[in-house]
Amino acid sequence: MSGFYLRGALVEYSGEFLGPIPNIVLFQFNPEQLARTIQIPQHATASAGRNQARQREPAQTSTPPSEEFTLTAKFSAADDLGAGGAVSAIPRVFGIGPQIAALEKMVYPTGPLSGLLGQAIDAVGDALGLGGNDDAPTRPIPREALPRILFIWGPSRVLPVSVKSMSITEQKFDFLLNPVQAEIQIGLSVVNFAKTSTDVIGKGALTYSKAVKDAQAILNLAKAVELAVDIVAF
């Protein structure tokens, strides 16, 4: 019997609660590597001039660093086809099309938001003389919301993300030309929320993951102190 292992996942959620979950994709095979990039914002610098020395302050920034992930997810219909029964029914008809469709759904907007935002933008444009023909009726500009997504990579990494890029390579096909094997490169960006954000789930996940990382940093400090004491004793 094979050992138990966790699978990474992308979970789409809505509003202030996790259910009902509109979309979820479990990685059939966990990616072999996870590339992480931390973008560090430019620090504020003192203004030039004869008072520069007096005005110089320690490096400061008003925005936190941003983190991005790049991974390659692999999908294959072979395992499900060999399982038999109801598990193999869907891949026999559609291959791995459902998994790909679920991932693609996380890229497209979920639907139009209220037209009030569009009306507000129109009003600002009119006030600035950018409204064009004064006789033309003001039309609300439709706005669409991107999906809210959690990237789950084990119990210590649950992060709100947005999908920045997705490259799909379909590699093998069945007799109906449904894809039965594919590699999908996914670029994710961790969301940094404004204080006024109402995304309770996303903000909670971000706070949780940061707390876990802080705890791990403390453990590393304890280990470093122990090693330093051993070196001094030696």
Question: pLDDT tens, 132-142?
Answer: 555 555 555 55
pTM above 0.85, yes or no: no
Burial of 72 (0-12, 13-18, 19+ CB in 10 A): middle
Q: Report if residue 189 sits inside a domain.
A: yes
Percent of the chain with pLDDT over 70: 64
pLDDT above 90: residue 211? yes
Q: Report if residue 197 sits inside a domain.
A: yes
Which of 186, 213, 201 lies closest to 70 in space, CA to CA?
186
Q: What is the mean pLDDT of residues 103-124?
A: 66
Q: Report if residue 130 sits inside a domain.
A: no
Percent of the chain with pLDDT over 90: 44
Burial 99-136 (b: 16+ CB within 10 A, else e): bbeebeebeeebeeeeeeebeeebeeeeeeeeeeeeee
Question: What's residue 178's pLDDT?
Answer: 94
The sign of the dihedral angle between the CA atoms of 129, 135, 140, 141 is: negative
Q: Report if residue 129 sits inside a domain.
A: no
Q: Report if residue 124 sits inside a domain.
A: no
Number of domain units in the chain? 1
- Residue at 221: amino acid letter: L
DSSP helix/strand/coil, 27 = coil
Q: Report if residue 128 sits inside a domain.
A: no
pLDDT above 80: residue 6? yes
Hunting for tokens 């069945």 — which residue is that? 174
User: For residues 14 and 150, what is the distance between their CA atoms, to the nearest angstrom?
Assistant: 11
Q: Report if residue 5 sits inside a domain.
A: no
User: Do 189 and 164 contact (CB within 8 A), yes or no?
Assistant: yes
Kindly state the DSSP code that residue 144 receives in the 8-state scheme: B
Mean pLDDT, all residues of the chain: 79
Which of 174, 171, 211 lies closest to 91 in space, CA to CA?
174
Q: Report if residue 54 sits inside a domain.
A: no
Which of 44, 58, 68, 231 lies closest to 159 in space, CA to CA?
68
Hunting for tokens 């006030």 — which residue is that? 127
Task: Give CA 131 to chain center in angstroms.
Answer: 37
- Considering only residues 96 and 81, tell me which one the structure prediction assigns the higher pLDDT: 96
Q: Torsions phi, psi of 214, nearest 5? A: -60, -40
Range of the domain at 194: 21-42+62-110+143-233
Question: What's residue 146's pLDDT?
Answer: 80
Between 65-79, 165-179, 194-208, 217-231, the lowest mean confidence (pLDDT) is in 217-231
